[in-house]
Amino acid sequence: MDEIRTRDPIAVFQAWLAEAEVVELNDPSAMCLATVDADGRPSARMLLLKGVDERGFAFYTNLDSRKAAELAANPVAALCFHWKSLRRQVRVEGPVERVSDADADAYFATRARPSQIGAWASDQSSPLDSRAMLEAKATEIEMRFDGRYIPRPPNWSGFRVKPQAIEFWKDGAHRLHDRILFRRTATGWETERLYP
């Protein structure tokens, strides 16, 4: 992995993700998002990456969800991607910012209509009396927007993790794995190799 030490870590990540999209059977963009609440208690959950570029790693959610509340209280996060078939992992850490309304609108417009309805129907992270209640609410939303454009809900948007550290891990024989850590500095990215 020495060859990646001289490259842009975002470009390396994009190349690894492209490889994963070929061989991973389910959700190659799946990632674990770890957040911390105002009292310092961590929580983690699986999400799908919805964009990565020089600005960072973007994902979308209900702004009333637990994760959004934790990011409002403590706007830092960690991500972990694991591609078992490739025997690779990438960890990302950094501050988090909300995406622009234009970015959120553009992404929402690409979602399948049933997913758009689901975004309106779900009071994410709130108690739910029954599955039937959720399905009834989804049916109500579907009827409300029957034959019409579905706008982005006002409580639905995205966040972007602005990486300060990106670590690439590759499986090695006899647990002698390869680890390369990129750290952002005022002048660019610095790299170092880590013990496995």
Residues 33-71: b if buried by 16+ CB within 10 A, e if exposed: bbbbeeeeeeeeeebebbbbeeebbbbbbbbebbbbebb
Using DSSP's 3-state secondary structure scheme, residue 156 falls into strand
Active site residue 87: no
DSSP letters, 60-120, are EEETTSHHHHHHHHS-EEEEEEEEGGGTEEEEEEEEEEEPPHHHHHHHHHHS-HHHHHHHH
Judged by DSSP in three states, 126 sits in coil
- Determine which one of 148, 175, 179, 184 is catalytic: 175
Residue that the structure tokens 């993790």 belong to = 161
One-letter amino acid of 23? V
Residues with catalytic roles: 175
